[in-house]
């Protein structure tokens, strides 16, 4: 080839006419003969592709703009001329990670960059309101550097709730149907349901969601069983709430008691406290046959679990466990204050309470492993910005907890890559390192398949084809710290709810 510029043009022309063997022009309509953006080659890397397959050494990956355009053995790498080359020798390449349960993207100087710095290139934002809809729009317009966002509706709950505004209160079937229509029109990609939503309203919401072609996901609604909401089409159950109840020989007794106990508008937290106490007690009455029936029904219905083990771990430990975390310097004072208030409401205080909640958490870990073995879909999420759940790095903790629960490191990574994309209906564009997919990637300095903690040893993050090397990520981290420590209040619309609720949104 005549030179670097000519080589690059020839390579792009080769791609556009189908040089990949899969007719690249068909993957990206309108690109034939066009400039596809910067060409980046990640050479001689070990690939962990997001499919659950074993690591594959000696691979090279070519990116053109926002797409993966070639993946193969390094010996077959085509001439790429003046492409930017990243030396992958001794390194490990993953798809960009998805945190499948996040909040407060509207803290724009803190939350979006922290996700990217730690390799989280996509998030499922679980509380939709005007501020984070605008944050998503800024990211899509290229005005703000941040992860891809799949955005929920506002949280839909009954007339009694544990949350402060913005919450969508629903009392009747007609109101539930109207909320689904309105939230879809506002841009929600799924409906988020909460704990105190009544049976009639939830059934109407499920029916209207089907009619509108939109999914619904959320908490265990206490007045119905997991089996009922799974049959209604609930796409995911968050936080693993109620799983030990549904795997208990006392299941029917506990569910009947919850169904018969009214919510008290004057003391809305009393019902939640009752439900949690019954959950803690249920771990001593595990029934293997009931668990098999339960997980089998969810698997057949296509209902996934999002265990959010990170927040579950935080709330089973004394509050002081987290108060000296070095990551707090990246969190605004308003958030830190809400965390300190919220965590006091839920964490154990006495030795007996600590032992009880530790037993519950260990059973939760075990049941996550049982769910995985039963073939129930699992997606990894953290519940940031709930107390002491840090954007980005929290997902590294979640992966470690999933491994502790019995998944292999590669299986745990699949919950936040290939499986996350499948759950979201984005498997054609995201989740695996495959030709034609989005150029969202994480390059590691050490092998996460041998030690999942190595997922934190990041060399480079690539988001929408933009390369964030160590130096740029360090500059971003410094900017987050500066923003977090300016004398200005945090503006997230839901921080007041965090203080009131304590955790787990």
* Measured torsion, CA atoms of residues 350, 255, 253, 307, in degrees rounded to the nearest 10: -50
Model confidence pLDDT, tens digit, residues 336-395: 999 998 898 888 889 999 999 999 999 999 999 999 999 999 999 999 999 999 999 999
Provide the pLDDT for residue 331. Answer: 96
Q: Which residues pair with 157 in a beta bridge?
A: 169
Provide the pLDDT for residue 493. Answer: 55
Cβ partners under 8 Å of residue 466, min gap 6: 145
pLDDT of 36 strictly over 60: no
Q: Which two tokens stand for residue 52?
A: 């659950």
Provide the pLDDT for residue 26. Answer: 38
Q: What is the mean predicted confidence (pLDDT) over 132-149?
A: 97
Q: Which two tokens stand for residue 488?
A: 């200005």
Is 381 in contact with 398 (CB distance < 8 Å)? yes
**32-36, 324-328, 486-490: which range is least confident on average?**
32-36
pLDDT of 253 strictly over 50: yes
Read off φ and ψ for residue 116, nearest 5 degrees. -65, -40
Provide the pLDDT for residue 13. Answer: 53
> How far is residue 162 from each of residues 132, 153, 453, measured CA to CA in Å?
21, 18, 35
Length of the chain: 505
Read off φ and ψ for residue 218, nearest 5 degrees. 160, -155
Model confidence pLDDT, tens digit, residues 173-215: 999 999 999 999 999 999 999 999 999 999 999 999 999 999 9
Provide the pLDDT for residue 346. Answer: 83
**183-197, 249-263, 318-332: which range is least confident on average?**
318-332
From the list 254, 259, 255, 220, the residue with the least C-alpha distance to 236 is 220
Provide the pLDDT for residue 487. Answer: 83
């Amino acid at each position: 080839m005549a030179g670097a510029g000519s080589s690059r043009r020839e390579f792009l022309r080769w791609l556009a006419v189908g040089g990949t063997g899969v007719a690249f022009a068909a993957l990206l309509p309108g690109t034939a003969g066009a400039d596809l953006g910067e060409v980046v080659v990640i050479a001689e890397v070990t690939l962990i592709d997001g499919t659950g397959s074993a690591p594959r050494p000696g691979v090279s990956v070519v990116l053109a703009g926002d797409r993966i355009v070639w993946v193969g053995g390094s010996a077959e790498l085509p001439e790429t001329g003046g492409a930017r080359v990243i030396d992958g020798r001794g390194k490990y390449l993953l798809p960009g990670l998805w945190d499948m349960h996040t909040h407060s993207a509207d803290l724009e100087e803190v939350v979006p960059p922290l996700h990217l710095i730690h390799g989280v290139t996509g998030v499922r934002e679980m509380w939709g309101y005007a501020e984070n809809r605008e944050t998503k729009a800024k990211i899509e317009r290229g005005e703000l550097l941040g992860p891809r966002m799949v955005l929920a509706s506002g949280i839909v709950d009954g007339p009694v709730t544990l949350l402060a505004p913005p919450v969508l209160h629903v009392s009747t079937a007609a109101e539930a149907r109207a909320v689904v229509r309105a939230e879809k029109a506002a841009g929600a990609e799924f409906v988020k349901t909460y704990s105190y939503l009544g049976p009639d309203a939830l059934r109407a919401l499920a029916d209207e969601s089907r009619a509108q072609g939109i999914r619904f996901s959320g908490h265990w609604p206490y007045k119905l069983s997991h089996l009922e909401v799974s049959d209604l089409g609930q796409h995911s159950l968050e936080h693993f709430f109620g799983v030990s109840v549904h795997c208990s020989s006392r299941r029917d007794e506990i569910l009947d008691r919850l169904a018969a106990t009214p919510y008290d508008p004057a003391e809305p937290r009393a019902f939640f406290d009752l439900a949690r106490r019954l959950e803690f007690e249920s771990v001593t009455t595990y029934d293997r046959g009931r668990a098999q029936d339960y997980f089998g029904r969810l698997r057949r219905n296509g209902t996934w679990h999002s265990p959010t083990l990170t927040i579950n771990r935080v709330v089973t430990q004394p509050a002081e466990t987290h108060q000296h975390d070095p990551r707090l310097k990246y969190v605004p004072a308003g958030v830190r204050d809400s965390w300190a208030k919220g965590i006091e409401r839920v964490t154990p205080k006495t030795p007996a309470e600590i032992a009880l909640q530790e037993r519950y958490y260990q059973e939760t870990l075990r049941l996550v492993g049982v769910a995985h073995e039963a073939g129930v879909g699992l997606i990894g999420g953290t519940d940031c910005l709930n107390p002491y759940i840090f954007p980005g790095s929290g997902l590294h903790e979640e992966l470690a907890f999933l491994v502790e629960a019995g998944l292999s490191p590669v299986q745990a990574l699949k919950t936040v890559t290939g499986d996350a994309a499948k759950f979201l209906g984005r498997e054609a564009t995201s989740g695996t390192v495959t030709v034609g997919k989005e150029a969202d990637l994480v390059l590691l300095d050490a092998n996460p398949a041998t030690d999942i903690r190595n997922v934190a040893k990041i060399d480079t993050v690539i988001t929408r084809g933009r390369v964030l090397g160590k130096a740029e990520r360090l500059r971003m981290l410094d900017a987050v710290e500066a923003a977090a420590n300016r004398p200005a209040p945090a503006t997230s619309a839901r921080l007041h709810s965090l203080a009131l609720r304590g955790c787990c949104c």
